[in-house]
A and B are shown apart, each in its own frame.
Chain A
Amino acid sequence: MPEWHTLAAIGVLGLVSYALRSGGFLAGSLMREGSALARFFQLAPGNLFVAFVAAACLEGGLASIVGCTASLTVMIVTRKEWAALAVGFAAAALVAGAR
């Protein structure tokens, strides 16, 4: 049986995590339609995609850079997601294995 302070820690962290996940949504109802903030959120996703990939490449190093580049190239050429993921995965594994 887990000790009570372990369960308490898990419970508190779970509550905090869900409060953050739902809190933004609930706060969104306070945002005026057409406001600068609302426009910001509508424009944001594409830029966030790029930033997400850049951050992943920074963290994952050469294997991630090669894998992402391979995925992007295959996606542009074939428009097939599964092919892009498979080639990216294989390229990253090859680079990681070679180092």
Chain B
Amino acid sequence: MTITTQPASSAKAICSRAGVRRGLLAALPFLLSNGVAGVVMGVAYRGVGLGFVPSVLFSVVVYSATAQAVTLGLWAPVPPIIPMAVACIATNARYLVMGAHLYQIFGKLRKRITLPILFLLADASWLMTSADAESNDADIGYLLGANVPMAVGWMGGTALGYGLPLAPGGPISVAAALLPAAFIVTLLPTQWRGARSVLPWLLSAAGALLVGSLVSPNWAMLAGGAVGTSFSMMRGDNA
């Protein structure tokens, strides 16, 4: 139903400069959205008394808004490393699923090419790459290119936010936070498969809302997507 990504055996996976350029241009709006979110994170790090260098280092090395926000809540003068690591695993476990899916697309490429690119894997770049692989050659250059504006925005935003006397909030911050979801919305028409998409999509949305409300927003996307995809599988849909 939703995607026609070929299985690894028949897929022609490449890594091209054209793909890098295409991904970079497509992800440019994330420079703003991740930048604003990074600014908020920088302001928050300054608020708990973390220095400038560790604040920026956090965003460079960990590079995960959810994990950084959760571990920030656990911050103490002597950081509790084990509870922080557990929280990081809980919030970032979804990357395991994303990585397994990317293997379906890029499994034939050499690991020395794919593994470094995965350092900057993000929810949005994964979703964009999945959609791109449907309409173009499976090109991991696209993932690399899409990662760049997101990472620059996040890391640069953290540094900027730490240095500027800003407070989070305001209409522009709210609107900028929406951009990743709005970007994914623009991909939806390419995924529409007519009436066969209706039920799986409704189930996906309902599952996400339920899990987001009752369990955790971090798991809403995966849980909702799993519900809709399970229904598609039981119905016998083809990829």
Contact = CB atoms under 8 A, between A and B. Distances in A.
Interface of A: 2, 5-14, 16-18, 20-29, 31, 33-34, 36-60, 63-64, 67-68, 71-72, 75-76, 79, 81, 84-85, 88-90, 92-94, 96-97
Interface string B76-111: 001101001100110011011111111110110001
Interface residues of B, number: 102
A84 B130 contact: no
Main secondary structure of the interface of B (DSSP, over half): helix
8 contacts: A6-B54, A42-B239, A45-B101, A47-B232, A51-B225, A52-B127, A54-B206, A93-B175
Given A56-B181, A57-B181, A28 B217 contact: no
Given A6-B50, A33-B8, A43-B233, A92 B174 contact: yes
A24 to B, nearest CB: 2
Contacts of B191: 45-46, 49
Given A10-B61, A17-B64, 13 more contacts: A5-B78, A12-B84, A25-B102, A26-B99, A37-B100, A47-B200, A51-B224, A55-B209, A68-B178, A75-B186, A84-B186, A89-B175, A89-B176
A90 B233 CA distance: 38
A29 B103 contact: yes
Contact of A43 (B62, B201, B239): B239
Main secondary structure of the interface of A (DSSP, over half): helix
Contact of B85 (A13, A84, A97): A13
B172 A93 contact: yes
